[in-house]
């Protein structure tokens, strides 16, 4: 879009070419600042040094946390941070018309922000090596800033959040992304975070535990299990990679060429965006999901013992208490409740080439914690074991197409961690599986969409869920190879 009358000195002028800078950074696997070959020489000792001891403790023994005498809800004595309460869900048309569950209520909007800056002409992301109590491996790469409102208003009484000022005062910086997005709708009640990418030209001091990586280097690390954390992935997905003019016309008709076209606006789509939006309006209007906060005490189907609040089937997840001792974090020692899922999940896109443009099969799903009924999700998103205790109708469609895929159809298959600050060892196997464009995938809950169409929706809040955003980042990581 032509910008009228913008003062010429403004760095906002750069915004219209952001997709070109991003494309260049995606293809840059070498950097003058950080060599990926030596990345682990820095990361591994840091992991050993940034120890984190996480011990499970009884729910009643979490220091600073209490069980509300009236409701049985878990909350912090300060009244801040988050709480765990019960939720009663009615979804009359769904396979499970009514159920209850514990859910995390964290009403504050936090900031997930990546600072980016050009070095030697190539955009680099300032990534943080961060310990989180729920990580299965201690240290992962997080955005530059990952802060709840409590973090930066001082309730933690910890040291100030480094680099936060770049995301609080945007004057003179270029905003590449700034959009609130939802998080796990089955574990969080209307949780949302502000996903930000801010480009600066200032000198930026590089603190310990931080390193500058090109997007291409972050992408290479996305090929490894449990390194790039969830918050990094969701912010990366909000990058404006869908500029109208391609950096290079993709050659040939192989997978990567179709993928590159998929990321470039101007290449076609199976459905127009208006049709996609009308479909989502219809789903969001038609689907009835009535949620009502209820006391955590005596929640139907759930039992509390000293160690956990768990479902009587042993499925889904449990609420546990942990005590954390950690170096490399604002506060060295604390307790907190966490959600511990039962089993590793699957989050997968089926993809296909339509007229040479890669499309992903997105599903509109309702989850009780969403702000607006339903969001666009991966083709399949589930913990397969949970369905043993649910009606057959609840079994995820196309799960078999994912799990039975032959190896040459599997384009991406990496196990990645979910939010390590609230979830304990929550991991999903993220997969991209290529299939033929077949009428059996034409189903009212699903639509084929290219990446540039998802990118258009990612400029707005609450269209693309957190698991699908991770997969957008994973697919993007395949484009520079």
Residues that bind a copy of itself (CB under 8 A): 1-6, 12, 15-16, 109, 170, 175-176, 178-180, 194, 240, 267-275, 277-278, 281-282, 284-285, 354-355, 357, 371-372, 459-461
Residue 435 half-sphere exposure, CB side, CA atoms within 13 Å? 24
Record the tokens describing residue 465, joined without a space. Answer: 């869920």
Min CB(234)–a copy of itself separation in Å: 15
In terms of CB distance, is 67 or 461 closer to a copy of itself? 461
Min CB(237)–a copy of itself separation in Å: 16
Min CB(283)–a copy of itself separation in Å: 11
Record the tokens describing residue 44, joined without a space. Answer: 């591994």
Listed in sequence order, the DSSP H helices in 65-171 are 149-153, 165-168
In terms of CB distance, is 196 or 405 closer to a copy of itself? 196
In terms of CB distance, is 206 or 273 closer to a copy of itself? 273
Query: Is residue 429 within 8 Å of residue 384, measured between CB atoms?
Result: no
Min CB(5)–a copy of itself separation in Å: 6
Handedness of CA 358, 279, 462, 385 (dihedral sign): negative
Min CB(434)–a copy of itself separation in Å: 17
How far is it, in rounded angstroms, from Cα 179 to Cα 164? Answer: 17
Min CB(387)–a copy of itself separation in Å: 31
In terms of CB distance, is 88 or 225 closer to a copy of itself? 88
Query: Is residue 182 within 8 Å of residue 370, measured between CB atoms?
Result: yes
In terms of CB distance, is 14 or 68 closer to a copy of itself? 14
In terms of CB distance, is 178 or 330 closer to a copy of itself? 178
User: Which position has the token pair 């219809």?
Assistant: 282
How far is it, in rounded angstroms, from Cα 225 to Cα 415? Answer: 5
Record the tokens describing residue 368, joined without a space. Answer: 């009780």
In terms of CB distance, is 35 or 285 closer to a copy of itself? 285
Record the tokens describing residue 470, joined without a space. Answer: 């991770």
In terms of CB distance, is 225 or 437 closer to a copy of itself? 437
Listed in sequence order, the DSSP H helices in 159-206 are 165-168
Min CB(197)–a copy of itself separation in Å: 11
The set of residues, in sequence order, having a beta carbon less than 8 Å from that of 397 and lying 6+ positions away, is: 363, 380, 443, 445, 446
Min CB(248)–a copy of itself separation in Å: 20
Q: How many CB atoms lie within 10 A of CB 380?
A: 25
In terms of CB distance, is 109 or 207 closer to a copy of itself? 109
H/E stretch holding 218 reads: helix 215-221
Listed in sequence order, the DSSP H helices in 154-250 are 165-168, 215-221, 230-237
Phi, psi of 279 (to 5 degrees): -60, -45
Min CB(107)–a copy of itself separation in Å: 9
């Amino acid at each position: 879009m032509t910008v009228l009358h913008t003062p010429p000195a403004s760095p906002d002028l750069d915004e219209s070419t952001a997709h070109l800078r991003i494309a260049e950074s995606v293809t840059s696997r070498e950097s003058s600042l950080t060599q990926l070959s030596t990345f682990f020489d820095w990361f591994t000792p840091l992991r050993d040094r940034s120890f984190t001891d996480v011990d499970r403790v009884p729910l009643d023994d979490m220091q600073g946390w209490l069980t509300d005498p009236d409701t049985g809800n878990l909350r912090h004595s300060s009244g801040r941070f988050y709480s765990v309460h019960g939720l009663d869900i009615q979804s009359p048309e769904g396979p499970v018309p009514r159920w209850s569950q514990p859910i995390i209520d964290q009403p504050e909007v936090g900031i997930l922000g990546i600072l980016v800056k050009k070095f030697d002409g190539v955009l680099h992301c300032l990534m943080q090596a961060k310990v989180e109590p729920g990580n299965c491996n201690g240290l992962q790469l997080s955005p530059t800033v990952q802060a709840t409102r409590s973090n930066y208003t001082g309730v933690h009484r910890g040291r100030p959040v480094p680099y936060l000022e770049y995301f609080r005062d945007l004057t003179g910086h270029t905003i590449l992304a700034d959009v609130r997005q939802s998080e796990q709708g089955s574990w969080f009640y209307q949780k949302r975070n502000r996903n930000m990418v801010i480009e600066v030209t200032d000198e930026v001091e590089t603190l310990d535990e931080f390193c500058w990586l090109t997007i291409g280097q972050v992408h290479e690390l996305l090929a490894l299990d449990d390194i790039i954390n969830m918050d990094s992935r969701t912010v990366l997905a909000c990058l404006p990679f869908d500029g109208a003019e391609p950096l290079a016309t993709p050659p040939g008709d192989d997978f990567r060429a179709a993928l590159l076209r998929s990321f470039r606006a101007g290449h076609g789509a199976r459905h127009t965006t208006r049709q996609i939006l009308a479909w989502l309006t219809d789903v969001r209007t038609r689907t009835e999901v009535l949620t009502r906060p209820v006391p955590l005490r005596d929640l139907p189907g759930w039992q509390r013992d000293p160690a956990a609040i768990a479902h009587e089937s042993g499925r889904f997840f449990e609420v546990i208490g942990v005590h954390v001792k950690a170096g490399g974090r604002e506060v060295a020692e604390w307790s907190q409740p966490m959600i511990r899922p039962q089993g590793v999940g699957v989050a997968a896109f089926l993809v296909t080439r339509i007229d040479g443009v890669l499309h992903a099969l997105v599903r509109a799903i309702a989850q009780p914690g969403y702000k607006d009924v339903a969001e666009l999700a991966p083709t399949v998103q589930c913990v397969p074991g949970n369905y043993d205790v649910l009606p057959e109708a609840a079994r995820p469609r196309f799960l078999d197409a994912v799990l039975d895929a032959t190896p040459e159809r599997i384009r991406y298959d990496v196990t990645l961690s979910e939010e390590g600050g609230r979830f304990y060892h929550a991991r999903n196997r993220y997969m991209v599986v290529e299939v033929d464009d077949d009428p059996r995938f034409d189903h009212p809950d699903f639509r084929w969409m290219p990446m540039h169409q998802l990118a258009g929706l990612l400029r707005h809040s609450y269209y693309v869920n957190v698991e699908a955003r991770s997969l957008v980042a994973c697919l993007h990581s395949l484009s520079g190879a």
